[in-house]
Amino acid sequence: MQSTVDGFNYGLVTPLVAYLMACLGGALGLRCITRAMVARSWRPGWLALGSAAIGSGIWTMHFIAMMGFTVEGTPIHYDRTMTFASLVVAIVMVGMGVFIVGYRGASGTALFTGGTVTGLGIASMHYLGMAGMSLDGRLEYNTVTVAASVAVAMAAASAALWAAGQVRGFLWSVGASLVMGLAVTGMHYTGMAALDVHVHGTADPVTGESAAALLAPMMVGPLALLVLAGIVVIFDPLIVMAGSTPPPAEHKPGIPAHSPVQRSRLRARGPVEHRSRTPQRR
């Protein structure tokens, strides 16, 4: 028996909160990637922190949205192992894409490869988390809609990584994170639109744990990671000022380049008086 699926049990509350969490994770992650590309010091650490922030934000977005998901005629429980595995998959696969772009640059083949891997990681997290659901029924997916959701995830990941590689300042990354959050949230609900649930209608108990009992405690870790990334971003001035560093002095062949300090000293001295080489008559 096909059952009614409701993804907005709490109205617009869960979609809006989920979107904000995706934006937060994206903003923090993109700033860490920008920091690695600009300063290039401790690059692996910055890229790893950015990967963890993006992956945690996407995972938190997914399960906040799932709290508003109900199926008529059966309770929904979640398997703890599968739910935790979806978080690990999200961080690891996002990290692979981020490291590719972080070391190869956000253009050409590197951007395509990194965006593809990251997008597949987002989609894998979503459908692995869905596989961890336990209910008195059977899940079926529309293949075309599932493919569309994966394409949206890949496009969103590629756009976000490209924006991180532009290094155009803080507001640029904020705007990119808003677009990324919208695309990732859109991917989630596109994937949910591909779902049909056929309820068995039996009296067999549903295994696993409820969303409130399982997801709320498990969100403490990702949320703490996002707070840590936020603290690092706030107290690192190079992240905030990324993209506003002055360009290097232009060097022309045969003319020694002057540093900014030397140029300021030359301007302070004023014009230099040149002595005439013509001998003066006495």
Tokens of 18: 């989920």
Work out the burial of residue 224: count CB atoms within 10 Å of its CB; fewer than 13 is exposed, 13-18 middle, 19 or more buried.
exposed
Q: What's the pLDDT score for residue 237?
A: 57
Q: What's the pLDDT score for residue 120?
A: 92
Tokens of 227: 């707070």
For 144-165, letters b (16+ CB in 10 Å) and e give eebebbbebbbebbbbbbbbbb
Q: What's the pLDDT score for residue 204?
A: 59
Can you give the pLDDT of all 282 residues of the chain as single tens digits? 666 778 888 888 999 999 998 998 888 888 888 888 777 678 888 899 889 889 888 998 998 898 888 888 888 888 888 888 998 999 999 999 999 988 888 888 999 999 999 999 999 999 998 988 888 888 899 999 999 999 998 988 888 888 777 756 667 777 888 888 888 898 999 999 999 888 877 655 567 677 667 766 777 777 787 887 778 777 665 554 544 443 444 444 444 544 444 454 545 455 544 444 455 554
Q: Quickly count helices (H) and strands (E) in the chain.
A: 10, 7
Which pTM was predicted? 0.76
Distance CA 152, CA 187 (A): 6
Q: What's the pLDDT score for residue 168?
A: 63
> Degrees (nearest 5) of the Cα angle 19, 22, 26?
140
Q: What's the pLDDT score for residue 34?
A: 81
Q: What's the pLDDT score for residue 40?
A: 66
Q: What's the pLDDT score for residue 273?
A: 47
